[in-house]
Amino acid sequence: MTIGLLLVLLLVLAAEFTNGLTDAANAIATVIGTRVLSPAKAVIMAAILNMAGVLVTGTAVATTIGKDIVRPEVITLETVAAAMLTVVTWTTLAWFFGIPTSETHELLAGLAGAGLATAGPAVLLWEGWRKVLIGLGMSTVLGFGLAFVIMVAIYWLFRRVRRGTVSSLFGRLQILSAGFMAFSHGSNDGQKFMGVFSLALFLGGVIPTFQVPLWVVFLCGGVMAIGTGLGGWRIIKTMGVKITRLEPVNGFAAETAASTAILIASRFGIPLSTTHTIGTAIMGVGSVKRMRAVNWGVSRQIVNTWLVTFPACLFLGYAFTWLFKLLFAIF
C-alpha cells in the first residue's frame, strides 16, 4: 500500500461520501417535500435502503465503470485520482448553491478527461459509452414519460374518490415508493464508486485481476450511508419543493417511475443518473396538472447545470491528471 494508492482510495471514499450527501438526497426529496416523513426519519430510511440496494443487486454497474469506460491496462493511479478530485470539486460547488448535479456524469466525464490526458483518445471504450448513452435516454424519457403516464392513470382511477381519501392513501404508499427509490439508488449509484475503488486496487497491484471484493462493497456502501445520514438539505429543498408543488400522490408517481427506470438500468449494468431520473420524473408529474405548474425557471437552472457538468468535468479531469503526475513524481 503506497502513499499514492492510499491517497487515491481516500479520494474515492470522499467522492462516495459526497454521493451520499447530495445524490442520495434525491431519493428522499419528494417524501420530505410532501411532508409524509420527517427529514430525520427519511434520512435514516434512505441510509439503510441505499446500503441494501448496494448489497442485493450485484456489481454489474460497478464492473461497467471499472472495466468498460476507460482501458484499465493503460491508465494509472493518477488517472483515477484526477477523476475523483473532479467529482468532489464539482459536487461541492453544486451543493453549495443547492443545485442538483449528476455524480454519474461527473464521474464519467472526469474519467474520460483524465484518461485522455493519460493515454489519448484510444483509452475510451465504446462498449461502456454505449451504455452511458442508453442510460441518458432512459433517465430522460423514462423518467418524464413514465411519471406522466403513472400520474394520468392514478388521476383516472381515483377520479371519483374524495381528495382527502386519496391524500391519506398515497401518504402511506409514498413511504413504500420512497424506500423503493432509495433502494434503486443504491443499486446503481452506490455501485459506481465501488467500481472505481476496485480499479484503483487493481492498478495498485493489491488485487491481481479486476473484481469487486465484498469488503469494498461494505466499505463504499457504508461511507455512502454516512453521507446520506448527514443529509443534503439544500438539494432536498430544490428537488422536493422548488420544481413543483408536490402532494403525496405526485411524490408516489415520481418515485415509482424513477425507481423502475433505475432498477431496469442496474439489471443491465447501465450507469444512469438518478438525479436526472427523479428530476425529470418530478417535472413529468407536475406537467400532468398543467405546464405552468412546473417552475420552469428552476428546472431550466437544473438542466443547464446538467449540460455544463460534462464539459466542465472533462476539463477538470484532464487538468487534475497533470497536477497528480507532478505530485506522484514527488512521492
Comparing CA positions, the residue from 52, 19, 58 lying closest to residue 267 is 58
Model confidence at 294: pLDDT above 70: no
Model confidence at 86: pLDDT above 90: yes
Total number of domains constituting the chain: 1
Greater model confidence, 160 or 98 = 160
pLDDT for residue 131: 92
Q: How confident is the model at residue 300 (pLDDT cuts 50, 70, 90)?
A: low
CA gap 77, 202 in Å, rounded: 10
pLDDT tens for each residue of 96-151: 776 667 788 899 999 999 999 999 999 999 989 999 989 888 888 888 899 999 99
pLDDT for residue 256: 93
pLDDT tens for each residue of 227-280: 777 755 555 655 545 555 667 888 889 889 999 999 999 888 898 888 778 878
% of the chain surpassing 70 pLDDT? 85
CA gap 136, 191 in Å, rounded: 17
Structural domain boundaries enclosing 239: 3-330
Provide DSSP, 2-48.
-HHHHHHHHHHHHHHHHIIIIITTHHHHHHHHTTSS-HHHHHHHHHH
